[in-house]
Amino acid sequence: MGSPEGSGLRKSNHDHIQPHIPFPQTDGVLKHLDELRKDRQILSAHVKTVHHESRGIAGRLQGALRTLQSNAAHARNKKGATGPKAVSRKKERGFWTG
């Protein structure tokens, strides 16, 4: 345990845990604490990975939503240009042959 967390565990063990636990079990407690610290580090790394991937997915979803909204607006504009008013304007200008 050469990390700052490890030295903190050793100090905590020496000051608080060791006086309350019979001597043979002290080493087992330190091993267990070290395993728990490693597990916490692994879980923290997993959380960071999931967070990063979630942000990427959210960005792609926002892009898809913008595309859908843009396509819908374009379709509305296109439909509006061929509606009854557009046909009558084309007739007035002589472009309508129907």
Q: Which among 66, 63, 1 has a CA at the least distance from the CA of 29?
A: 1
Q: Give the pLDDT of the chain (98 residues) as one tens digit per residue.
A: 456 666 777 777 666 665 665 666 777 888 899 999 999 999 999 999 999 999 999 999 999 999 999 999 998 888 766 555 555 555 566 555 55
Residue with tokens 């903190």: 8
pTM over 0.75: no
On whether the CB atoms of residues 37 and 9 are closer than 8 A, the answer is: yes
Report CA dihedral (15, 19, 20, 21) to the nearest 10 degrees.
110
> Alpha-carbon distance 60 to 63, whole Å?
5
